[in-house]
Every structure is written in C-alpha cells, then in structure tokens.
C-alpha cells in the first residue's frame, strides 16, 4: 500500500492472527507518540484465498453457521461466518489535527 500511494517512512506488515489490526494500530500510535511519524495510516484486510480452512472448520469443528448467514446476538445464531474485508484509519496527534483543522472522528487515549 505504501508503495502504491507513494508514501515515505516506516511501513510494517503485521501478522498476529486475529489481532493484526489492533497490533498495527498500536504500532501506528507508537510511531506518532515517539515522533517517528507525523501521520500514520493503519489498515487491515482479510482475504480468503482458499476454501480449505473453511471446509475444515465446517466439517471438523462445526463452528460455522449452517446456512452461512451471520446472526450475531440473535437467539437463532448457530455459528460464525467467515468473510473478506478491509479498512483503514488515518492517524495524527490530536494537537496536530486541531492545528491543521482536520475533521476529528475519534481520539485514541492509549494502546497496548
């Protein structure tokens, strides 16, 4: 992503199983806190490249919803659904964003 967008500075891929997006966000926050960066983009994505894991979960673990429909917090929920997606957030130190007149959608008070 960094190369395609022509960005400079540290670019770190993170693989931490289910916590990759949180780990990437933490590293981006640390980069801002340490003044290593003035702006950070933290992004994550999930791509299902093979159906082997899905088949194993369904046949061996029986953890997927039988109808492959998501029913989160519903009484009829009978498993989870695997999906693909991606998301990204642009991060700045609060004082920098306020100074630059940026639209602030949230503030991260800490990460670990």
Could you state, in order of their start, the residue ranges of all structural domains in the chain? Answer: 10-47+84-112, 50-83
* Cα of 81 vs its chain's centroid, Å: 17
* Rounded to 5°, angle at Cα 70 from 64 and 72: 105
Q: Is the confidence at residue 17, as pLDDT, over 90?
A: no
Q: Which residue has the higher pLDDT, 112 or 54?
A: 112
A 10 A CB-CB count for 28 gives 24
Residue 21 has pLDDT above 80, yes or no: yes
Does residue 61 register a pLDDT over 80? no
- What confidence tier does 48 reach under pLDDT thresholds 50, 70, 90? confident
């Amino acid at each position: 992503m960094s190369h395609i967008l022509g960005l400079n500075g540290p670019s770190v891929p993170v693989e931490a199983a289910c916590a990759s997006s949180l780990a990437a966000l933490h590293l981006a926050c640390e980069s801002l806190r340490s003044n290593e960066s003035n702006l950070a983009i933290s992004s994550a994505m999930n791509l299902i490249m093979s159906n082997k894991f899905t088949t194993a979960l369904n046949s061996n673990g029986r953890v997927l919803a039988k109808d492959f429909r998501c029913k989160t917090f519903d009484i009829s929920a009978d498993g989870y659904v695997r999906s693909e997606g991606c998301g990204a957030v642009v991060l700045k130190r609060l004082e920098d964003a306020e100074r630059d007149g940026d639209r602030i959608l949230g503030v991260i008070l800490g990460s670990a």
